Structure 1
């Protein structure tokens, strides 16, 4: 374990971590056992590790398949590089593909997912340049930085599906909303951006002292303001309440950006880098978990995980670390079910065909997979775009403000806006379709029952509620300078699955989202893509668009649109629900306390547990799940009521110019962010000096 850092050092850690990466002292050993072993050091895993380690009387280990990512730190930290110097082309991307999708022109569709440690903290690191296969990592370090939130109606529908299950109240809107805000420190936009983009917000809906910083880019385009005006002309009003549970209307999304230095704020910079070392928390990078090891005892129906097996050399050598209390899976929608399956927990037929011995039969593992499917209409334009500035070498290309720009103008459109007076007819039609498109499974009593429960809840309680069924997004970062408007289906009635076809845990799991299996999905997305075209044809947005380049005017009829969607639609990168929180008799994998059915000490805590596809980008919700999971676990073990705080939003607050920006376009902010940015920055400079002194005199510094 490493010596602790003073509070002064911690203040400047997020700014200087990348510059001092070489000061990290690699280690090659971890302890034999830990109270909590967390599988996955991505978005959710580092939240769990940070929060659980706040209690000094427990030891915590995070096992992460990927490396630390320091060689790509500038590309991770620079918001605009998520487009222009994308990490998707690097080894930090798993580069998964689905199996051929029969209803999408038999395409194998790319599913990029992040493959990098969310952070590196006084940790043991096993370096192995020959390792080629890493897996099961969240994507907060490489994604598009959107921090949208789900709606109150859909979260409460999730809670209602749990019935009277113990712990169900943890997943009501009120509880989940508190967890979402707990993770966040919000800073309003700067005056210039407000004036140009017309951004509105309600500060009371945001957190003020969480590890993840959210704000708006410090650079924008007039077309973002045109976006909001055009949508208003179409009857889609601008909303300042999108973060308070009203997931309806047009908005400019907050992004996970720290305005004190305009860098990406993510699980590493928020939940790992600032931590003092209390001697009870380790992170092991390049450690790929191969399976959970269970006790052979037969005295209980529930199996107990006694150890976690992992490899640092692509499977040639296997090692184990013992578990004193619990294993927590945080590998995401692909990784968490895969670990269970390779451990012998899952559908009996899948395990038998893959050659994996059955430990605990749990039919729902990998089932109920849902994903947002999207497509984009594109136009050439007569204005500067983010893409043309960057790729044509405009003078703003290296402007620090420009490099904060993120495409974040969005709108969530409900079924009533889409279908008008016919909304109830469409609801009835979609409800009637559910029984025809049940998943391909031998578990009719469980998995199919769960599918019907999810879809009936989606169609009967969410479809005609004031909740987005289609997301519309403005995009101007295309490499050839085009402007795109994307439509994305938010509540698919087609469900797929994650499974394995091999007993080798180094093999990728099989991904089958089953896109467009239920024709209702293509019908709803058809309505959405027509809306996308309509936005582009509505003034003032239309004044900037000169010619539709894709699909072009040749596509007009519904049949033409659907054929085009089957060729072009792809993932919006929001898979969920493969370890669904549902009753076991409905193919559930975890209960409301996140415990895996049939296992005594294994939980799952990531986006895979959300049973209903939410109308939002999943990053904020995943932070909420992990925060809520941390509270559940700590309360279960009766940990101290007043643990030492691990995080403080004031340790890296926004600059004073951003923090004092109160103007909110057409609406006034109802509050202001906490913290004194100017004082924080002064302390940062002090800490930089102190760090330099320590480096000169040879004191160890571990970030």
Structure 2
């Protein structure tokens, strides 16, 4: 059995950062255990290739949520990265930090050091922003952020103009002074390749002698001496392995895997663990609870002019785009599906935006078996405007259903389970049609495809978004941070309440969800968590 100073479980958005920061000085040995395999795969590195990873079990956990009454009984598909880089290796790459008010609310909830002013230096240190450095943007950091304003499809500019005609301001930087408005999304790419946390942080760390990375290593249990974490058990190539941590064990498996592992290790709701025959090491009813996620939906229109459908669907178009990508690392394959978007308020009496927009210059109404049909869009010219709620009030949970670590946990989302979530989504989808009715986007619309012009009443609109919407892949808060052990899982230094030698550093610690995509904030959490570890290690 080998001993390391620190064991990091999970190599995703936070875990990759933790491993790099802990190992940088050379003082500490670090073991990283990743259940998946290598990120050196073509469709992982090619930005628009994530349609091919959407259901791929080689790189994706492919979770299925429980049938959800709020989603008309649907069982939502939950892709999560099972690969070096975690979900940062299969996500849509949009770089949004979140609103300053989100983090200030974390601090005001009793988490000193987690306000926006406290975290801004970390965000800036992480970034190498192509748009240049400012008081709010960083340059020279490990994560390159591409400014796509010169690269987007011409239809994106039509969308931006129509959204402005509908009343939204133009916003040149959603990570700037304010979020509200529409603009072009910055994305995590460099040189036409995906800039995952593995590429930015873990790969450089792997060159160090004090870093060991084990892939295909499923951690099944945290080991304890009394109530101090001292190591982990994991399965690799069918054999049980054990590793010892001289200092601390860090759980960075994300909002699904981290509460699952805590529960398997005897930390969680006492009755659940007892029913499954798991000895209760430390009872905490909040492990796996307080699940928050953003729910989204697309409205789709048939266009009078060509969209990316006409390039990406035919074989000759695929060949042309492929050659452009292979030779020049440019073109649509080098970008995200979401070229533009923004943030808006469903009610102008609200203090700040509560909805996020996404503009896609292609459509995927017709399904394709076994993959998300990004690379094989519809045969007609089409485009979509999507949205997701930013701070829904609905809450769910993630609980193990077996003591067997290979059995997927039960994911209960409870989407749209509050009247306020339903009401704001109803207002939001109406606003999508308001944008589409504005010139110059209205000038090129042939017809609305989804949900279709017959869907007009409030009841029909609600039924439609229950049937067609689902996760936009931002689950958080299942091991939420807070000062009170009776209402949280970790303290403001990310130590698991009631135990020693064990921390959680990933998006599961978010006290509440943020306004926007969660990858940037997850990477920041890894940076901040590593700082706390290094401070406590002297």
TM-score (norm 2): 0.92
- Distance in 1 (alpha carbons) for counterparts of 2:359 and 2:471: 17
Question: What's 1:182 paired with?
Answer: 125
Residue 215 (1) aligns with residue 146 (2) = yes
Question: What's 1:96 paired with?
Answer: 63
Residue 285 (1) aligns with residue 215 (2) = yes
Q: In the alignment, is the contact (CA less than 8 A) between 1:219 and 1:404 conserved in 2?
A: no
Question: What's 1:311 paired with?
Answer: 235
Deviation string 1:611-667 (CA, Å, 9 cap, x unpaired) is 1111110111111111111111111112xxxxxxxxxxxxxxxxxxxxxxxxxxxxx
Residue 570 (1) aligns with residue 470 (2) = yes
Aligned equivalent of 1:410, options 330, 341, 346? 341
Task: Report 1:606-685 matches (<5 A).
Answer: 606-638=506-538
Task: Report 1:64-213 matches (<5 A).
Answer: 64-70=34-40, 73-83=41-51, 85-118=52-85, 138-162=86-110, 168-188=111-131, 203-213=134-144
Distance 1:344 1:171, change over 3 A: same
Q: Cα offset for 1:81? A: 1.8
- Distance in 2 (alpha carbons) for counterparts of 1:149 and 1:250: 16
Deviation string 1:457-492 (CA, Å, 9 cap, x unpaired) is xxxxxxx322x2011111123310421111211111
Secondary structure in structure 1 of the residue aligned to 2:89 = coil
Aligned CA-pair RMSD: 1.7
Distance 1:157 1:568, change over 3 A: same
- Distance in 2 (alpha carbons) for counterparts of 1:370 and 1:278: 37
Q: Cα offset for 1:324? A: 0.6
| Uncovered stretches (5+) of structure 2, i.e. residues with no partner | 364-376
- Distance in 1 (alpha carbons) for counterparts of 2:402 and 2:48: 39
Task: Report 1:212-361 matches (<5 A).
Answer: 212-217=143-148, 219-258=151-190, 261-275=191-205, 277-296=207-226, 303-313=227-237, 316-361=238-283
Q: In the alignment, is the contact (CA less than 8 A) between 2:53 and 2:60 conserved in 1?
A: no
Distance 1:583 1:213, change over 3 A: same
Q: Cα offset for 1:241? A: 4.5
- Distance in 2 (alpha carbons) for counterparts of 1:586 and 1:551: 44
Aligned equivalent of 1:470, options 339, 355, 368? 355
Q: Cα offset for 1:221? A: 1.1
Secondary structure in structure 2 of the residue aligned to 1:412 = strand
Q: Cα offset for 1:585? A: 4.7
Q: In the alignment, is the contact (CA less than 8 A) between 2:401 and 2:410 conserved in 1?
A: yes
Flag the structure with larger Rg: 1
- Distance in 2 (alpha carbons) for counterparts of 1:567 and 1:545: 24
- Structure 1 segments, 4+ long, off by >6 Å, are none
- Distance in 1 (alpha carbons) for counterparts of 2:201 and 2:184: 26
Residue 386 (1) aligns with residue 354 (2) = no
Q: Cα offset for 1:262? A: 1.6
Q: Cα offset for 1:276? A: 7.0
Structure in which a larger fraction of residues adopt helix: 1
Deviation string 1:238-264 (CA, Å, 9 cap, x unpaired) is 123421352221121100011xx2211
TM-score (norm 1): 0.71
Structure in which a larger fraction of residues adopt strand: 2
Q: In the alignment, is the contact (CA less than 8 A) between 1:151 and 1:245 conserved in 2?
A: no
